[in-house]
Amino acid sequence: MGRLAAALTRLRTTLGTVSYPLVLPSADEAQRVGSALLAQLDDYLLPKLNRLDAPLLVVVGGSTGAGKSTLVNSLVQERVTNSGVLRPTTRSPVLVAHPENLAWFEQPHLLPALIRTVKSSDDPNSLQVVGARAIGPGLALLDAPDVDSVVDHNRKLAAQLLAAADLWLFVTTAARYADAVPWELLKTAKLRGTVIALVLDRVPLDAAADISAHLGEMLTEHNLGNAPLFVLPETELDERGMLPGPVIEGMRQWFAQLSADPAARDAVARQTLDGALAALAPAVEGLAEAAEDQTRTAQALDERVDAAYRTAKRTVRDGLQDGRLLRGEVLARWQEFVGTGEFVRSLESRVGQLRDKFIAAVTGRPGPSRSLQVALESQLVTLLRGVATDAAEQAYASWQAHPSGEALLVTDLKTASADLPQVADRLVRDWQRWVLDLVRREAGDKRSVARGAAYAVNGAGLAVMIAVFTSTAFIPTGLEVAVGAGTTVAAQKVLEAVFGDQAIRTLAERARTELVGRVDELLDAEAARYTARTSAVRREAEPGTLLRQAAAAVESARKDIALTGSGS
């Protein structure tokens, strides 16, 4: 029993960690079944396992107006529960037990979520507990709400109470016995192994044989042919509003025998408990499949977002290599910075004199360097804002085309983050400072740079940034030359003159890698606005596997205990 209790506790914990937040065909049913299993574990399975000798709980359930309350009052010969004059009736369920058994039901062993009370209440979350000697020790009758009530809470509470029953006494009438809703519940109870007895109420004498025969056929069809059946003829109630004694005598004797026979009660309790335990595995399998459906869908939605932002990252990388960032203002400011066109043309033939010219340029002309830095920043920020906006729109459209994704969307996701311009500005400025610091560290004791002090470092840093915006190997292609008008050659020659050939390649590659890394972080943060909405699913590690393992442990322990003696 200890092993089984531990396995049930583990299953209960696992069920509580799995959710079904994505809109999927399987989600609503999984939510309902998951909630029902949690309630059954708390209301019935765990407490019953701890006290198999507890009094037998007989839940009286049935359709609206079937006469459940009248039947309960008649069986205990006291007016302990009131019939609803108006439908639907919202009131607390009533539990009637022998005084010897009241202590057990007054404590929240079974149905712990219901507040115990001794008075009738309109609060459906309370349970009125009443003592009555006529019920006999070892038994309790619980008058449940209508299983087909138009009030959603009443139906859910009725299903919850029936799931906590050791024995379900199903009450219907000659006019309602073929209704679909109660038969669905009967089928569920049968599959779960609950012991069932039936009451066919208000049967006209002239039709009793035909109705009883038809009901018998339906019971056999649903594998309920062995369930006890009590047929109550249509009759007048007595002055107390109860059924005449002779009408319910057979049922009272049946309950009296059950009360007087501990072995019979134990058999009923064990059969229902074993059936409820056996029904867990197939129910949990359905939940596992629904949980995996959630995980697969979350991954598919995340992949759509990843694809959009991978495209954005690739666009940035392409922009750093194909020369597009060197057009327009950046090109003009660079040419202004390094000197006239004659200076650019002289670079290749006069490398030996370049250091002095470069130092003179950057130490004496701070204005053009600042203009170039601003132009570089503006061009790069414009690129980042464009790709982030495009990625947001692409991700939004891809989720909008998926039912689960569409349900997660909010308007703000359709565009980049509101603060993206400021974040992008800060990213580029921080990267520019990083490049200048890199140049300063690499310059070290190079006296050519040292002579130029801050302006020399700034000039070399800007040249590194220009080189970053061209091909990785610093080999100008025809396209780059056409776009940059010799810019690549200029950048390379300036840097080679200051640092040497290998140093230039290393510096530009490091600067490029740093920039790409920072851009990736920015775009990952933008993508996280989407993936945060699927995180509730992704947070659960292999929920389907965990559910199956927990259910398998319960089933193994159940078979070992063999509550009904068969072990199956």
Crossing angle of helices 501-531 and 447-468, in 10° steps, is 50
Whether residue 256 contacts residue 240, with contact meaning beta carbons closer than 8 Å, is answered with no
Sign of CA dihedral 73, 78, 81, 83: positive
pLDDT of residue 42: 92
Whether residue 202 contacts residue 230, with contact meaning beta carbons closer than 8 Å, is answered with no
Residue 284: closest CA among 545, 43, 540: 545
Sign of CA dihedral 145, 147, 152, 156: positive
What does residue 403 show for φ and ψ, rounded to 5 degrees? -55, -40
User: CB-based contacts of 48: which residues, under 8 Å, 6+ apart?
Assistant: 54, 110, 166, 269, 273
- Tokens read off for 359: 């130092």
Q: Which ranges of 222-353 does DSSP label H, i.e. alpha helix?
A: 245-260, 262-278, 280-319, 329-338, 341-346
Order the strands of the 126-131 sheet from edge to edge.
115-117, 126-131, 94-97, 139-143, 56-62, 167-173, 195-203, 229-233
DSSP 107: T
pLDDT of residue 505: 72
Residue 32: closest CA among 275, 249, 287, 228: 287
Question: Is the entire prediction scored with pTM above 0.85?
Answer: no
What is the full per-residue pLDDT of the chain (568 aa) written as tens digits? 889 999 999 999 999 999 899 999 999 999 999 998 999 999 899 988 888 889 999 999 988 888 899 999 999 988 888 764 434 454 678 999 999 999 999 888 788 889 998 888 778 789 999 999 999 999 999 998 888 887 888 888 888 888 889 999 999 998 888 888 888 888 888 878 889 999 999 999 888 899 989 998 999 988 888 899 999 999 999 988 899 999 999 999 999 999 999 999 999 999 999 999 999 999 999 999 999 999 999 999 999 999 999 999 999 998 887 766 666 666 666 656 655 443 344 334 444 444 444 444 444 444 556 677 777 888 889 999 999 999 999 999 999 999 999 999 999 999 999 999 999 999 999 998 998 888 888 765 454 444 434 445 666 677 777 777 765 434 343 334 334 444 445 545 555 554 455 666 788 889 999 999 999 999 999 999 999 999 877 665 688 999 999 999 999 999 998 887 655 4
Cis peptide before 246 (omega within 30 of 0): no
**315-368 pLDDT per residue, tens:** 999 888 776 666 666 666 665 665 544 334 433 444 444 444 444 444 444 455
Task: Return the CATH number of the domain spanning residue range 54-260.
Answer: 3.40.50.300
pLDDT of residue 9: 96
- Tokens read off for 269: 């309790």
pLDDT of residue 347: 38
Q: What angle do CA 80, 82, 83 make, to 5 degrees?
A: 140
pLDDT of residue 222: 87
pLDDT of residue 376: 80
pLDDT of residue 348: 40
Residue 121: closest CA among 85, 91, 86: 91
pLDDT of residue 147: 85
CA distance 322 to 487: 13
Any idea where the domains of the chain sit in the sequence?
54-260, 300-336+372-476+484-546
Percent of the chain residues past pLDDT 70, beyond the cut: 79
pLDDT of residue 486: 46
What is the distance of C-alpha 229 from the center of its chain? 44
CA distance 436 to 441: 9
User: CB-based contacts of 343: which residues, under 8 Å, 6+ apart?
Assistant: 357
CA distance 492 to 476: 10
pLDDT of residue 355: 46
CA distance 165 to 60: 9
Residue 466: closest CA among 554, 380, 540: 380
User: CB-based contacts of 101: which residues, under 8 Å, 6+ apart?
Assistant: 55, 137, 138, 139, 140
User: CB-based contacts of 186: which residues, under 8 Å, 6+ apart?
Assistant: 170, 196, 222, 224
Strands 195-203, 229-233: pairing kind: parallel
The residue type found at 39 is A
**379-436 pLDDT per residue, tens:** 889 999 999 999 999 999 999 999 999 999 999 999 999 999 999 999 999 998 998 8
- DSSP-based three-state secondary structure for 123: coil
Tokens 């019935």 belong to residue: 44
Reduce the secondary structure of 166-180 to three states and give it as a string. Answer: CEEEEEEECCCCCCH
- DSSP-based three-state secondary structure for 417: coil
For the chain, first and last CA: distance in Å? 16
Q: Which ranges of 485-564 does DSSP label H, i.e. alpha helix?
A: 487-499, 501-531, 535-538, 543-561
What is the distance of C-alpha 108 from the center of its chain? 30
Beta bridge partners of 116: 127
Q: Which residues of 318-337 are buried (b: 16+ CB within 10 A; e: fewer)?
A: ebbbbbbbbeeebbebbbbb
pLDDT of residue 472: 43
CA within 13 Å, CB half, 242: 16
